[in-house]
Structure formats: C-alpha cells, structure tokens
Structure 1
Amino acid sequence: MTMPVIPVVTVTVLIVLLLTALRRCFLVVTVDGVSMAPTFRPGDRLIARRWGLRAVRAGDVVVLRGGTPDEVFAALRPDAATAGRVLPPIDGGHLIKRIVAVPGDRVPRAGFHVLHDSPGDVVPPGKIVVAGDNPRFSADSRTYGYLRREQIVGVVIRDRDVATT
C-alpha cells in the first residue's frame, strides 16, 4: 500500500518549517577555549535562546558576535595587547561571556581598569560590560572596555552537553 503524495509532501514541508523556526529561536554553540572555565570547558555545547535579548541582566551568560579586525584592534589598548591576553574572535566568531553590567548599572571598577577613563558612573546606553569566569585567559571588558549590546546573539539557557540529550 502506498501513501498519497500530498500528505507526504505536507508532512515534509511542516518538518522543514519547524526546523527553520527552531533555528531562528535557538542557537547551539560549542565552547572553544578556557575563558569561561571552570563553568564551561572546551567542547561543552550550550543552547542559547535568540529572543528577549533586550531583557538581559547582570549574571546572564550570553553568546556575542565577535568583531571585525578593525573593531577588535581599535578597542585594544597598547598595554592590554602586550599583557599576554588572548584576543576575541575576529570575523564572525562567537564569544561566550557573563554580563557584569548593562546600561544604567554602575560601572564596575575592581579589575576593569580600562573602564576607568569612562565618563560617568553608569554604563552608557547601548553598551554592556562582560567578563569571562577565567580572567587570566579571557578577552573581555577588562581588556577592551564596553561591548555593543547589538553584539548579543543569544542568552545561554542550557549549559549541559546537549550532545548527550
């Protein structure tokens, strides 16, 4: 017995639409580096949601779009470039960092020397302050200052290895 062609096509189209919707709503990223150790290790896979990005707050772990070479190197101070720090991903790579402060929050001072030259005591509109959990091996706001809020592409919602689920 053969199935009619129309239901098979309909089911196939529905599956493709569902998968497309899921890709637009969620992002799966693999940790590549030790900047978030011990929280995340290289090879860990994370699920991030792509909606509600305006509602991020301090403490959230986010996935950020890396900058262009001009953006990355223009933001680095000469002393930071020679301090043995790693550079953030360039040209489409992703950063996984913890948000320390959002617009309107007080500018963190301890460990964030690069922000000391910032005018005012609050994070300016459109900017965020991020940090890796492993400061010695993290290129973050301690190295190159504020990031643009538009660089956020997802908020981590699941921090287990999704390959096992």
Structure 2
Amino acid sequence: MITLTVAAVAMTATILMAIGFARRRIVVVTVSGTSMTPTLQPGDKLLVRRCDISVVKVGDIVVLEPPRVPVSPEITVLGPLPARTQWQVKRVAALPGDPIPSSVQEAAGNLRIVPDGTLIVLGDNNASNDSRLNGPYPADRILGLALRKLAEATPLGTRPPTS
C-alpha cells in the first residue's frame, strides 16, 4: 500500500513538473488585428512555442514585439514604451544573410542584406504594420513560433450546432 502511494506521489510530481515546463515554453496568443488576414482572423487563438531566431525559417509565423522607431523622420526621440507589450503576429520573409525583399527596400534604406540579429517580417495583408514600414525587426524581440491555430472551444453548457 505504501509503495502505491509513493508511486502516485512520484507520478503527480512528474506531471506537475511537465505542466510547469510546458507553461514556460508554450503560450496562447489571441490575434487582435487584421494584418494576417486571410490566414488569421481577429479572435483566432495561436499555440506559440517560445524560441529564438535559431529555430525560425522563412515562411514561419512568429509572434514578436515591434521595434521602437522614431516618431517621425524629423524627430529622433523614440516614442514612449507602452505600459504593456504589444505583440505582433507576422510571417517571416527573410533571415540574416538573405537579400532584403523589394517590398521592404525603402524602409531598409541602404541595406541590401538582412543584418545579423534581425529578420524581415510581413503581414499576409498588405495593409500591415511590418518591415515594409519599420525595416528589419530585432531578432531578440521574438516571443515564439506559432505552432498552430487552436480550435474554438464550445462554451460550457452549450452544444455545438448539428446539421
């Protein structure tokens, strides 16, 4: 009987450690804008694995913090930091060492190659606040890689529609 209890405690501890590890590595992000339409819609939930640029590939969807950019070309003081991080969901278009895409060239200035420690990200919707406006994004601002879109949950106490 005591052996069974010790085994149960060990299993419970293992499960709790796994949950703790997963919570540090996996986050759920809710899409709030239209920059990734039609691929993602406002309200979509994404399962995101925390990572750095070393695991990211061109074509991946990432969640990252936008760069702080000058308020205008005439004013070199950077805008104030928001009270809370405002994450962006974007598709990776180029990685360090890749050529700067033509759609980003104006924002990238004299750069022709994506510099080390940066990446080029674009929204699937052309009306997106992304590298076309901000140039390369710092790679250290990546929260993680979108693994998949989560299915909508049915609220408790309701049944899904039947056909």
With the shorter chain as reference, the TM-score category is 0.7 to 0.9
Shift of 1:93: 2.2
2:125 match: 134
1:90-149 CA-to-partner distances (Å, cap 9, x unmatched) read 44221110011100000112354211x133x2111111111111121x211111111111
How far apart in 1 are the matches of 2:30 and 2:138?
22
- TM normalised by structure 1 equals 0.74
Secondary structure of the 1:135 match is: coil
How far apart in 2 are the matches of 1:129 and 1:77?
21
2:98 to 78, 100, 105: 105
Higher radius of gyration, 1 or 2: 2
- Flag structure 1 segments of 5+ consecutive residues without an equivalent: 80-88
How far apart in 1 are the matches of 2:53 and 2:114?
17
Q: Is the 8 A contact 1:63 1:152 kept in 2?
A: yes
1:124 match: 115
- TM normalised by structure 2 equals 0.75
Q: Which structure: greater strand fraction?
A: 2
Kindly provide the amino acid, as one letter, of the partner of residue 47 in structure 1: L
Q: Is the 8 A contact 2:92 2:121 kept in 1?
A: yes
Kindly tell me: are residues 21 and 143 of structure 1, through their superposed partners in 2, closer, same or farther at Cα, counting changes over 3 Å? same
Q: Is the 8 A contact 2:59 2:93 kept in 1?
A: yes
Q: Which structure: greater helix fraction?
A: 1
- Flag structure 2 segments of 5+ consecutive residues without an equivalent: 75-80, 155-163
Secondary structure of the 1:110 match is: helix
1:54 match: 54
Kindly provide the amino acid, as one letter, of the partner of residue 109 in structure 1: S
How far apart in 1 are the matches of 2:147 and 2:47?
6
1:54-94 CA-to-partner distances (Å, cap 9, x unmatched) read 13121111011x25xxx5242x5449xxxxxxxxx944221
1:95 to 76, 88, 93: 88
Secondary structure of the 2:103 match is: coil
How far apart in 2 are the matches of 1:31 and 1:10?
38
Secondary structure of the 1:159 match is: strand
Shift of 1:17: 1.0
Q: Is the 8 A contact 2:52 2:142 kept in 1?
A: no
2:68 match: 72
Kindly provide the amino acid, as one letter, of the partner of residue 110 in structure 2: S
Kindly provide the amino acid, as one letter, of the partner of residue 118 in structure 2: K
